[in-house]
Amino acid sequence: MRRIVAASLLLLNVSAFAQAQTAPFDMSGERPPGAPVTPRLTPPTPSAATASPVSVLPAPATPAAPAPAPVPPPIAVQSPQSQPPALKPAAAANSAAPPRAGDVRRFVVPFSKLGLGGEYDRRSWSIYLTPEQAAAKASFTFAYQNSIVVAPEASALTVYLNNRPIGQQRVGSPDGPSTVTFEVPTGLLQPGANLVTFEAGQRHRTDCSIQSTYELWSNIDPAGTYLSFAGMDVSQLASADAIRAIGVDGAGKTEFDIVVPALEQPGTTKPLLRLAQGLSVLSSMPNQIFAFSTASLPAAGPGKLSVLV
């Protein structure tokens, strides 16, 4: 008898469990009595007319092997080679051919010293050229030496003529002077005044403090800085206006040697003073020297003019 009761209870439990699985419990109390109960095993598919657009994200696929990282494009470095054709790299500048025999050398620095200091410095001045000099083939040479703390990989000297760069040189000569030569583009020079500019951009090797900027310097040697013109005819002075083109010597000086046989006569003093004043104003040079003699002509040279009275 006990076995029959236990079997009956087991059958009742299985039937109740099956009914619970067929009709899940519904918590909504709004369904009217007698309405059919629909199992909610799968969500119903909405019709195309009434369904609102839903963005469905696809299931993530099996992760594949990571693609290689894209190689970044090469960085364009503002080197002399990437500049306009007038700019030359440092290697080409140092290997430039020396001035040819017969060329006329015209010193261009009208100072006894020329230094560029700090992280950025720029110096400009004008030089006067005759029409023959402006039309001749020319090259620009300068000599420099810099502080040992200047980082050559981030520092450069740039030379401009009439606001156009003709060459750029890395600052890397701490042990002694180095000479650099750049070719001057044809047609860049003009008769009359021409603007010469040196520009320095310098960085410290190890320090970036304000005090360290005073340790950055590059000195330009006036005796090693000049224009070279092809042909001897460019040294001839065809008019009085060409006195402006006398220029300076390697020390930045302009010398007038006046030869006056009657120097001892009292009447020569006033006209000689007026002549010296006129030459001084016409040449427009900052460092002038006037020398007087009675018989001998001094040796010719750059930045010198002999006057016979």
User: Does 231 share its domain with 286?
Assistant: no
Mean per-residue pLDDT, 252-281: 91
CB 136: neighbour CB atoms within 10 A? 21
pLDDT at 57: 42
User: Which of the pair, 262 or 36, is modelled with greater confidence?
Assistant: 262
Number of domains in the chain: 2
User: Confidence class of residue 99 from pLDDT cuts 50, 70 and 90?
Assistant: low
User: Does 210 share its domain with 263?
Assistant: no
Q: What percent of the chain has pLDDT over 90?
A: 49
User: Confidence class of residue 58 from pLDDT cuts 50, 70 and 90?
Assistant: very low
Confidence (pTM): 0.66
Domain region containing 300: 253-308
pLDDT at 83: 46
pLDDT at 50: 43
Arithmetic mean of pLDDT over the chain: 77
Q: For residue 202, is pLDDT > 70?
A: yes
Q: For residue 95, is pLDDT > 60?
A: no
Tell me which of 235, 265, 289 is where a domain ends: 235
Mean per-residue pLDDT, 223-247: 85
User: Does 202 share its domain with 281?
Assistant: no
User: Does 217 share its domain with 275?
Assistant: no
pLDDT at 157: 97
